[in-house]
Amino acid sequence: MYRRRVYGTKKPSKYPNLGILDWLEHLSFGGVPEYEYLDIYSRYNDENGGSLNRSFFSKKFHALRVAGYIGSSKKEKIIVTDKGKEKLKLWRFKNLKLGTKKRDGRQRIIIFDIPEKLSHRRRFFREKLIEFECRKLQKSAYVTPYICEQEIGTAAKLLDIQNNVHVFIIENKFLF
């Protein structure tokens, strides 16, 4: 899309505030019924400390709309689009951290078989396992001493590969 640049004006931000997008999605599971823009600004500002500048919010909101992350529909005034939901999933995945590095004397083996057509998700998942300090046994098998089943499940769910990932808990007891 070609936009004519008017001298003395700035372009919309290329970096929309994903916190606003996340808040909009949480407000009513993908849609914001019956809220106008000013209602959204005042509600967001109240819930986030009340120190947000209106012009900053307006710029970020406009950037979200221009990027195609939010839109409007007939029933609902403002909705988070499918593109916005995918962007949020990726943002949440990147910000996913291993809560506490607790050990319980057991080992966790994470095994996954992700199809070739989802190779980019497989790469993201491997990078996250390395970030969680998992050691590589094979290309699709990692081991860790930390309690991390919930974080691994969340990562797999965000990448939509939960059916391809399995976590096994191994006791360190030997029978002789």
Kindly state the DSSP code that residue 116 receives in the 8-state scheme: G
Calculate mean pLDDT across residues 154-165. 92
Residue 62, pLDDT above cutoff 60 = yes
Q: Which residue has the higher pLDDT, 68 or 18?
A: 68
CATH code for the part of the protein at 103-170: 3.30.70.240
- CATH 3.30.70.240 in the chain, residue ranges: 103-170
Give the residue from 94, 111, 83 showing the smallest Cα distance to 158.
Answer: 94
Fold of 18-93: Arc Repressor Mutant, subunit A (1.10.10)
pTM of structure: 0.68
On average, the pLDDT of the chain sits at 78
Q: Specify burial of residue 21 (Cβ count, 10 A radius: 0-12, 13-18, 19+).
A: buried
**Residue range 67-86, pLDDT digits in tens:** 888 887 666 577 778 888 88
Residues of the chain with CATH 1.10.10: 18-93
pLDDT above 50 (res 103): yes
